[in-house]
Amino acid sequence: MQTVQLFKSYSAGRRDFSGVDFREAWMPGLELNQAVLQGADLTGSNLSHSSLREIDLTGAMLWRANLAHAQMQRAVFVRATLIRCQLRHSDLQRCNLAEADLRLADLRNTNLSYSNLNDVQLCYANLSGANLRGVDLSTADLTGAIIDGVDLASCRLTRNQAAALGVDIEHSSESGRMLAV
């Protein structure tokens, strides 16, 4: 499917684009709210500044994709591959990222508040300035993750994770309480 066909089909009311191949596609500013792109290949695509609210990207390949400044509230990324994905300044509030692979992802200043991050891979991801309010990271792999300036208010971490990240659980956040499990 070509980009033009996608726009026409979406405008005509189609929402299911599962399995589409949009590798290296240039689509900044795209509006594709409530679409289904399960298993889609968006490797290296540019979707920066896009509106992708409530989109379903279950099992999608987003390796090296640019989703910077995108609006993706309530999106589903279950088991999606987002290795080296650019997500800085994006809004991922209340998203489902369970079992997603976000190794080396750029999540600087990203809003991940109240998102599902169960069993997510965040190895060497840059989370500087991210909002993780209400997020349970107790099953996430945070090996080498950068957390400078992260809002950990009401965030759940294991004591081992907190120690590995150099976070003092007893004096963690003035705006809220970090929960150690």
Distance (Å, whole) CA 79 – CA 101: 7
Quote the Cα angle for 31-98-172, to 5°.
Answer: 100
Distance (Å, whole) CA 135 – CA 139: 11
Per-residue pLDDT at 177: 47
User: Does residue 166 fall inside a structural domain?
Assistant: no
Per-residue pLDDT at 170: 58
User: Which residues of the chain register pLDDT less than 50?
Assistant: 171-177
User: Does residue 159 fall inside a structural domain?
Assistant: no
Residue 115, classified by CB atoms within 10 Å of its CB into exposed (0-12), middle (13-18) or buried (19+), is: buried
Instruction: Enter the pTM of the model.
Output: 0.89
User: Does residue 12 fall inside a structural domain?
Assistant: no
Q: Contact 70/91 with Cβ under 8 angstroms?
A: yes
User: Does residue 26 fall inside a structural domain?
Assistant: yes
Per-residue pLDDT at 86: 98
CATH of the domain at 142: 2.160.20.80
What b/e string do you get for 74-85 counting C-beta neighbours within 10 Å, with b at 16 or more?
ebbbbbbbbbbb
Q: How many domains does the chain have?
A: 1
User: Does residue 1 fall inside a structural domain?
Assistant: no
Task: Count CB neighbours of 152 within 10 A.
Answer: 25
The predicted-structure confidence for 90-129, as pLDDT tens digits, reads as follows 999 999 999 999 999 999 999 999 999 999 999 999 999 9
User: Does residue 15 fall inside a structural domain?
Assistant: no
Domain coverage including residue 79: 22-147
Question: What is the three-class DSSP state of 93?
Answer: coil
User: Does residue 176 fall inside a structural domain?
Assistant: no
Which residues, 6 or more positions from 10, have their beta carbon under 8 angstroms from its beta carbon?
17, 32, 35
Alpha-carbon distances, residue 158 vs 99, 100, 155, 180 (angstroms): 18, 19, 10, 5
Per-residue pLDDT at 169: 60
Sequence letter at residue 4: V
User: Does residue 167 fall inside a structural domain?
Assistant: no
